[in-house]
Amino acid sequence: MSPSPIPTGRLFRTEEGSDLVLTRAFRAPAEDVWASITESDRTARWFGPWEGDAAPGNTIKVQLRFEEQTPWYDMRIDACEPPRRLAISSLDESGAWHLELLLTETGGVTELRFVQHLESEDGIGDIGPGWEYYLDLLVASRDGSPAPSFDAYYPSMRHYFTRLRDGA
């Protein structure tokens, strides 16, 4: 049995609200990691495929391939600055989602900094484990390791993220 994943998320309070930040590092150029987060055939491996005219200000349809019933959601591309920054947003029954994926390459290693700008910290115990899972799916899609099971993330990581909210 593989070891349980360790939560990496951190919470930063800003003048605008709160940011949930998770990072992953890849031994690859930023351009290659950028392709993993922007090209539909590659996002399909860890998040889901998308369709539409992907340009800043436009809305694309993204299929959440690893969710029950694999729903399609509208996502607006707020900013696209290859290969460094992608900002997207969507609105669903849970509220507004404002996400940024920031890439920094140093010495052949690219760090992905995933940021969710939170409107409220109330659901962080549910949101955080989900992003840990998706980012580890990204890692697995890139290095060929087995895809993780969501059961390894939730509910076991819920307490960690709730404690972040509570300042513990």
Report the interhelical angle of 30-38 vs 124-143 (nearest 10°): 120
Whole-model pTM: value is 0.94
Amino acid of residue 166: D
pLDDT tens per residue, range 131-150 = 999 999 999 999 999 999 99
Sheet of strand 95-106: strand arrangement:
10-14, 17-26, 109-118, 95-106, 85-92, 72-81, 59-63, 50-51
List domains and CATH numbers for the chain. 14-165 (3.30.530.20)
Q: With bands split at pLDDT 50, 70 and 90, how would you rate the model's confidence at 2?
A: low
Calculate the CA 129 to chain-centre distance.
Answer: 11
Q: What is the pLDDT of residues 10-63, one digit of tens each?
A: 999 999 899 999 999 999 999 999 999 999 999 999 999 999 999 999 999 999
Q: How confident is the model at residue 95 (pLDDT cuts 50, 70, 90)?
A: confident
**Strand bridging mode 109-118 / 59-63:** unpaired
